[in-house]
Amino acid sequence: MSFPKVVFRIVENRHCPLYAFADSIKLSGIAIALNNEEENSFITTSVVSYPTGKQVCKILDGDLNRLLAQYERVDKIPVCLISCSGCTGTIRLENSPDNSMLQKRDNSLSDELGSMVHLLSSFAFFKNIDGKHLDTVISYFELSNHRKGEIVLRKGDPGGRFHIIASGSVNVLNEGGLIISTLDRGEVFGEMSLICNDRVNATIQVREETALLSIDQHNFKKILDLYPAIQLYFSRLMAKRLNRSNRIRAEDLSSGINGNLSEIPPEALFQTLNANNKTGILTISDLPRGTARFSFRHGALIKAKYGSDTGDMAFYQILKENSGRFRFTPGIAPEDFSTPEIGFFMKLLMEGMRRLDEGKSQSAN
């Protein structure tokens, strides 16, 4: 008799003596309910498969069997994060939708990439990753060399990869082929199309012999989930670039600003307020569902209301709008300085853009 299976992978490790980050643990089996009028009880038929060559943890074994008893069958266990009961250390495990976490390459770090680890650790992107996980994260990137004049990304192409310049430099070109900016070692590109599920918005041409570190969309989004500090890095980076492209200046925001969503899309407006650590109230009028109101404290979204929706749902709904008048007014009520954040901004934005993209796909069908 065969049993359904799920795979849990370790996404956080706090001094666990047995297992490591990204280790996978398979759970298969069923829990059979016993007829007992006094209490609910189960006989659990399960198999827990641990990483090859590593010991069985009785504490974790018990945690997984209790989870199985709760849902009765492993294929009924929802997408979730669980924490082990812990001994001298603890771990968190994820049962992901596709039973896969980061898709690591079959081969280990190449000698060339391995020799660059010390250099890469000084890059702004990698500074957001704990030192003990740096080698692991770098191993999900691929290293490639490019000749002068080569086009790496072309405006309008589907997004697919995130790039970090390991050495050399590239030019950012407008539609007419003119250079609008240059990116040097340690700088990044390609993130906007992945986060917003959109097409590439600028052409990237190699300026000199250049080495690039690249990662695909699946692994890119998983790393964002695993390392919240990277989300903050991208939030600030995106806002900086959107500030420039939309000509929204921080000094304008400090004294209040009026505008129209047809000229500045909601995601650009919200990212600018977040990245510039603004405190105040954003009011958007002339909308299909009435006036929307959002409160920020040092860039964090603390209140949101649009129509009958509040909190994160109001934020997701406003991203759908492409017209309406907005005004940002500095300052909030004293009691709002202790109001909890609705959520980590970058994660809210990614979820909102994902929902927006799904809505467009459904409408097209």
Q: Could you report the per-residue pLDDT of 217-275, keeping only the tens digit for each?
A: 888 877 777 777 777 777 767 666 665 555 444 444 445 578 888 878 898 889 888 87
Q: Please, are residues 215 and 188 in contact by the beta-carbon 8 Å criterion?
A: no
Predicted pLDDT of residue 293 = 97
Q: What is the C-alpha separation between 298 and 2, in angstroms, rounded?
A: 54
Tokens of 132: 């003990």
Q: Can you list the domains of the chain with their CATH numbers?
A: 5-95 (no CATH), 111-226 (2.60.120.10), 240-364 (no CATH)
pLDDT of amino acid 11: 65
User: CA of 141: how far to CAs of 20, 183, 305, in Å?
Assistant: 19, 19, 40
Closest to 134 (Cα-Cα) out of 157, 158, 106, 114: 114
Q: So what's the pLDDT on residue 154?
A: 86
pLDDT at residue number 24: 84
Q: Which two tokens stand for residue 10?
A: 């370790």
- Which of the residues in the chain have pLDDT under 70? 1-4, 11-12, 21-22, 29-46, 79-81, 96-119, 131-132, 176, 236, 238-256, 361, 364-365
Does this model's pTM top 0.85? My answer is no
The long-range contacts involving 355-359, CB below 8 angstroms and separated by at least 24 positions, are: 355/316, 355/319, 356/316, 356/319, 356/320, 357/197, 359/320
- Give me 274's structure tokens: 């977040």
Provide φ and ψ at 349, rounded to 5°.
-65, -45
Give the pLDDT of residue 165: 92
Q: Which residue has the tokens 């659990």?
A: 44
